[in-house]
Structure 1
Amino acid sequence: MRLIKTMIHKDVTNLSGRSFERRAARGIILRGSEILLLYTKRYNDYSFPGGGVDDHEDVLTGLYRELAEEVGAKNVRVIGEFGFIDEYRPYYKPEYDLMHMVSYYYVCAIAPSMDTAKLEDYEIANGMSSVWIDISQAIRHNKEVMAKAEPSMGFSIERETFVLELIKEELF
């Protein structure tokens, strides 16, 4: 799979410290000019469905599980690999200096009908919901949030917006 980009958060000054390693799998699901994304009210942003791969899972098993949980996707089929982002950012637990996260993006197809999402408590508390949205509208929204540097802005918005722009350029 191709490396899309290496991202180092502005607050990370040393990559040789103790790092928490995390793998994530994220789905790119298209329908005409729309893309299936998650809107999170707390962060006021759009992001890809998917998330952390459990220790006992391979990346694709984690992808299928996350898409079922977050958007209720059924009959998920991977059409192709899109690429991965290698990311370093601050981590909140004192036993680590930083988080090293590798996010794998896959172009997927799903059944037209979806089950009810099974969001985790923190996702519900953050106001997360799935939405079909025009990709240009999602990019514009995220860029406005970044330009304003809204206090609620999360760490992932830069990564997700970069990938959205690349998808628009390469897949639309």
Structure 2
Amino acid sequence: MRVLNPTPATPLPGSCFTRPATRAIITSQSRILLLYTQRYDDYSLPGGGVDEGESLIDALVREVKEETGARTVTNVIPFGVYEEYQRWHKPDYDTVHIVSHCYVCDICGEFDEPEMEHYEVNNGMQPQWVEISQAIAHNEAVLANSDKQGQSLLRETRLLRMIATELMQLNF
């Protein structure tokens, strides 16, 4: 898979572990299915960590179903890998090396209620179809004007810009 980072990820000092993750790119015309998180006032791609023994595709499908309620995920195509280092919030390690495997995919059929994790519910996370240009502008405004920046905001905004340009042929 191609590397999506504009510059190579630089390790942070201290102890570190690697966390593989998946991110789903689900579009319909100029709209994209994103997760809006009230606590951080930002938009992000559906996805999350890969469980022990789980394949990347199985993790992607599970995360999309849990976070959006979509019952059927099809046509999964690799888009690229985004690597980053972030401070870790638990005492075992100082930093985490997140390797996000991004896939373009489709969803179809019926939707169930999302089955978010406790912290996602507490953060006010909800799936929403959004015009991608509006999501990018919103995230960029949050980056520029707010102290409520979730760890993933910079990554998600960079990915949304790439998706808009490369997959949706929008000029940014």
Kindly state the Cα deviation for residue 112 of structure 1 after the two structures are TM-superposed.
4.4
> Any conservation in 2 of the 1:78–1:106 contact (CA below 8 Å)?
no
Q: 4+ residue runs of structure 1 moved beyond 6 angstroms? A: none
Q: Does 1:3 align with 2:10?
A: no
Instruction: Give the alignment's TM-score, normalised by structure 2.
Output: 0.92
Q: CA RMSD, aligned part only? A: 1.3
Q: How far does the alpha carbon of each residue in 1:35-87 deviate from its partner, in whole angstroms, 9 at most, with x for none? A: 00000000100000011110120111111111000001122013411101111
Structure 2 residue corresponding to 1:52, chosen from 45, 49, 53:
49
Structure 1 residue corresponding to 2:120, chosen from 123, 127, 134:
123
* Distance in 2 of aligned mates of 1:60 and 1:4: 19
Paired AA for residue 161 in structure 1 = T
Unaligned 5+ segments in structure 2 are: none
> Any conservation in 2 of the 1:26–1:103 contact (CA below 8 Å)?
yes
Larger deviation: 88-97 or 25-34?
A: 88-97
* Distance in 2 of aligned mates of 1:110 and 1:143: 27
Number of residues paired by the alignment?
166
Paired AA for residue 28 in structure 2 = R
- The residue aligned with 2:162 is 166
Counting only pairs closer than 5 Å after superposition, residues 18-167 of structure 1 correspond to structure 2 as: 18-148=15-145, 150-167=146-163
Instruction: Give the alignment's TM-score, normalised by structure 1.
Output: 0.92
State percent identity of aligned pairs.
Answer: 46
- Determine helix, strand or coil for the equivalent of 1:3: coil
Kindly state the Cα deviation for residue 7 of structure 1 after the two structures are TM-superposed.
3.9
CA 1:80 to 1:73, structure 2 compared with 1: closer, same or farther past 3 Å? same
